[in-house]
Amino acid sequence: MQARRFLLIQVLLCVVVSTEGFWPWSKPPKQDNEIKTPVILVPGSGGSQLEAKLNKPTVSHWYCRQKTSHYFTLWVQISLMLPFAINCWVDNMKLVFDKNTNKVKNAPGVDIRVPGFGDTNTIEHLDQNGLVMYFAPLVTRLVSWGYERGVTVRAAPYDYRYGPESQAEYYTKLKHLIEETYSTNENKKITLMTHSLGSVLTLVFLNKQTSSWKDKYILQWIAMAGPFGGSFEEFRLYINGNTLFVPHFILNPLTVRREQRTDTSNIYLLPSPELWSGDEVLVKTPKRNYTVNNYDHFFEDIGFPLGKQLRKLVGNFTYPLSAHAPNVTVYCLLGSGVPTAERFSFGEGEWWNTLPEETYGDGDGVVNLRSLRACDKWDQRQVFPVTIKQFPSVGHIEMLADEGLHNYVKALLF
């Protein structure tokens, strides 16, 4: 999900939780006896490092690099978010639509890869200097319980710009990682632990697997802050852009909007008609109101007609949710009681370039409560239990460092 601004603002404020010293003896624990289920982590939107190598036919600005001899960190490298440099970053990060293949792909001459598959270091911190924390508090806590990085706790980062329509290769790698982790840990079933967009992609993944495979390899799925029915916050991205962690007076949000609109993962996370009624006005303007029933008009009016094609491309991989139960034991952990945007109202003029009046409802600050709780639609559609656990006043990113959530997860693992 596109919550990168919230991710970086809030994660930079997190403090790595202290390690619990609960071992009664100085002798190290025998992990094979202690760890009952290995953990594989799937991050959310913006939660994986990206590296790029350039050999571009042209550049958007004279000061942008056209060719590099090696891969460099594209996300997150704070220096690339600064004025002028951000123009080069946008041109390197954007996706382009290929009419011949009906697919999206990297910009010409840009090769992007995801480092650290299988390890946790590239999702614990999103930059090379360890300043931008993400999963670090939770992984640190897992290690304090006896888990070992790269052995009993592993990670499956991915290119979060793409929606599920483009993740076939990733799903193959994820399946192999699960099977490998299972076999190297004495055939212990795996706990999938996912956050935000990673929860939605994992739902698609599980729906692609056979029941026998899931029965053999998956013990349980702990889905944290899953936007299973999308998020209203996506409208902000398409209308105003998302300035990440950079103040507006330094970075124009319309600059990064050019890249963010091309990501099919963002299209996929627009509010679902399963959870939002066609009579519910989401964006109110002087000339037209927008609901889940007129997305095509919305894309036309904001000057992004390509959005209509991209929306057809992402399809309905998890719609309706009631027909896409994962058929594994599920624990949906979510924050609530945090003001979350649910409606925009604009005045006269080019409203798609102005700031709206916002109406707020319940949620975790990024994802609306109705979407976070949508996993309850599986309760009567599968034999495996579905448990929903709310953490009041806990935000979308803060939950990864929340002690109450950690204690709940510990009880599930042990």
Q: Mind telling me the catalytic residues?
A: 196, 364, 396
Task: Produce one character per residue of 321-345: b if its CB has 16 or more CB atoms within 10 Å, e if not.
Answer: beebbbbbbbbbbbbbbbebbbbbe
Tokens of 162: 């793409």
Strands 39-42 and 153-155: parallel
**Nearest-CA neighbor of 47 among 178, 200, 189?**
200
Strands 153-155 and 218-224: unpaired
* Residue 345: DSSP 8-state: E
Longest dimension (CA), the chain: 71
Helices and strands (H, E) in the chain, number of each type: 15, 15
Task: Produce one character per residue of 160-199: b if its CB has 16 or more CB atoms within 10 Å, e if not.
Answer: bbbbbbbbeebbeebbebbeebbeebeebbbbbbbbbbbb
Distance, in Å, from the CA atom of 199 to the CA atom of 42, rounded to the nearest integer, reads 7
- What is the length of the chain? 414
Distance, in Å, from the CA atom of 353 to the CA atom of 357, rounded to the nearest integer, reads 13
The amino acid occupying position 414 is: F
SS3 92: helix
Distance, in Å, from the CA atom of 176 to the CA atom of 180, rounded to the nearest integer, reads 6
